[in-house]
Amino acid sequence: MVIEGGSWGAIKFPSIVGVLQHPTRGWVLFDTGYAQRFIDETARFPEKMYRMITPVHLCDTEKLAFQLSQLGISAEDISYVFISHFHADHIAGLADFPKAKFICSERAAKAVIHSSRLGGLVKGYLPRLLPHDFLARCVFIERTKKVVLNNQYAPFRHGYDMFNDGSCLAISLPGHAVGHYGLMVESQGRARFLVADACWTRRAYIDGIKPNRLAHIIMDNRKQYLESLNKLSALYLANNELHIIPSHCQESFEEFCSV
């Protein structure tokens, strides 16, 4: 599914979470990955189909709350969770962070909230993963300050400045899911672009590898997905110092992540 023309077989597919420390806003997460709640909410049909199609391995030491505790961070310390999109593998842990505000696309949030049980499931949504006070805690990306990006991020032209200091810029990467956003994080002169599921592997933007056509069934808009992927390839070609990190890339996981 990940590589057009690739062989069929199971591969490791990590679910990467970003942990950022902002000097004044505190701890910020980029997505939450899986959580026990995903296992619980997919125990019965029809939701069980989700887990059958994408089998999950989640032991206690892989749970985000445990990993954060290893960094000396408690769940209450998380001030914000940036939600790239609402597929269950990115939002299953939202309810574990009682004090966090949720930065997300308004269009995406409303799509998942208003989805029916089956209609949502087909799109990869499990609305029951959202905390009961979810909407009251949202900061909608589209209502934050829109900025023109530095030339070094061409062909991306615009972003949204999450904290009004240029440190965290939400950049639209449409196609994979409704309201899908990446986050450009600048710190001490270095930038990292967390691109979530705009592509599944680093090879995709380096070598221009598309996913299998079957994978497009779950996508919101195939044409936009390929446009976003082409833009990431162009960005990488022009600026290969920049670390572009897809959420499910095993190579990126081995290079940048620790568990």
Chain residue at closest Cβ approach to Zn ion:
87
| Residues touching Zn ion, count (CB under 5 A) | 3
**Phi, psi dihedrals of residue 61, rounded to the nearest 5°:** -75, -10
Distance CA 7, CA 113 (A): 37
What's at 85, amino acid-wise? H
Q: How far is the CB of 83 from Zn ion (least distance, A)?
A: 11
- Least Å distance, CB 201 to Zn ion, is 12
CA distances 3 to 173, 190, 204, Å, are 19, 30, 8
Q: Does 197 bind Zn ion (CB under 5 A)?
A: yes
Q: Select 146 or 213, whichever has its Cβ closest to Zn ion.
A: 213
87 near Zn ion (CB under 5 A): yes
The smaller minimum CB distance to Zn ion, of residues 96 and 197, is found at 197
> Is residue 89 within the footprint of Zn ion (CB under 5 A)?
yes
- How far is it, in rounded angstroms, from Cα 226 to Cα 175? 8
Question: Which of 167, 235, 239, 240 shows the shortest CA–CA distance to 198?
Answer: 235
> Minimum Å distance from CB 152 to Zn ion?
27
Cβ atoms 149, 204 nearer than 8 A: no
The least distance separating Zn ion from the CB of residue 230, rounded to whole angstroms, comes to 19
Q: For Zn ion, which is the closer residue by CB, 167 or 247?
A: 247
Of 162-170, 191-199, 227-235, 251-259, the segment contacting Zn ion by CB under 5 A is 191-199
For residue 99, the one-letter residue type is K
Applying CB under 5 A, the residues found at the interface with Zn ion are: 87, 89, 197
